[in-house]
Amino acid sequence: MPALTTATTHDPRAPWRARRLPPALLAAWGALWLLTAVAPADRALWLLESALPLSLVALLVGMYRAWHLSDASYLAIAAFLALHLAGAHWGYADVPLGRALQDALAALGARAGLAWGTRNPYDRVVHLAFGLCLVYPLRELLRHHVRGPRAAALLALAVVVALGGAYEVLEWGAARVLAPGAASSFVGAQGDPWDAQQDLALAGVGAGATLALVAAFGRRLREALAPRTAMRLAPGASFVERRCAPTR
């Protein structure tokens, strides 16, 4: 079984036909997308929520033969898109998992005398996952274009926050223009006037957490996942240096 590649051990121009995980993830996500298309809570909402994920998948598929990401990055992207599909199918305010979390928070809040559990928090979970999952592939992409892993990490964090802010504006505008009746459900504010700011903050926190974990445990993880292909690299090594680096 081929070793799981990471941002450091992966060659983005390696023969794409030899890879097994990315096509499997694409097939699994496609099947999940078809399942969510069956009797969604709101068809117009589902169409709106599906547009951007489909665009991202189409972009990744289109660039796959010429330039592809590591297995770890594709796993992270697939995890986020799967979480998003659940919100598209049920509506973020009505996802069953979010209802369970809401009840748990309400019970904890009642014990502590706090007003917790007043809304379905599933959208918060997905915005946190946006940062947690997508900053890693962004960092991997940027490492091939900027000098140094720290610069790539900081830029990836900035891109996550910028994309999150752009999405907050885009989703409201798209909902108002394309489906005015579904605008409130699409945005998922649930009556919270600070919803966009909290979502953006969670995305930034998630991205920061992933970058901190990669900085702390990245080398140990990639050595455990791919001991034969892990490369000894100087900080900030370029892609050319990675291709020429000796393997273990």
- For residue 30, pLDDT over 80 is answered with yes
- For residue 90, pLDDT over 90 is answered with yes
SS3 per-residue string spanning the chain: CCCCCCCCCCCCCCCHHHCCHHHHHHHHHHHHHHHHCCCCCCHHHHHHHHHHHHHHHHHHHHHCCCCCCCHHHHHHHHHHHHHHHHHHHHCCCCCHHHHHHHHHHHHHHHHHCCCCCCCCCHHHHHHHHHHHHHHHHHHHHHHCCCCCHHHHHHHHHHHHHHHHHHHHHHHHHHHHHHCHHHHHHHHCCCCCCCHHHHHHHHHHHHHHHHHHHHHHHHHHHHHHHCCCCCECCCCCCCHHHHHHCCEC
The one-letter amino acid code at 8 reads T
The pLDDT, as a whole number, for residue 44 is 81
The pLDDT, as a whole number, for residue 179 is 58
Ramachandran angles phi, psi of 246, nearest 5°: -70, 150
| Cα(207)–Cα(230) distance, integer angstroms | 24
The pLDDT, as a whole number, for residue 47 is 87
pLDDT digits (tens, 9 = 90+) for 126-181: 999 999 999 999 999 999 889 888 999 999 999 999 999 888 887 777 666 765 65
What does pTM read for this prediction? 0.82
Is 171:106 a contact under the CB 8 Å cutoff?
Answer: no
Report the chain's mean pLDDT, rounded to a whole number.
83
The confidence band for 226, taking pLDDT boundaries of 50, 70 and 90, is low
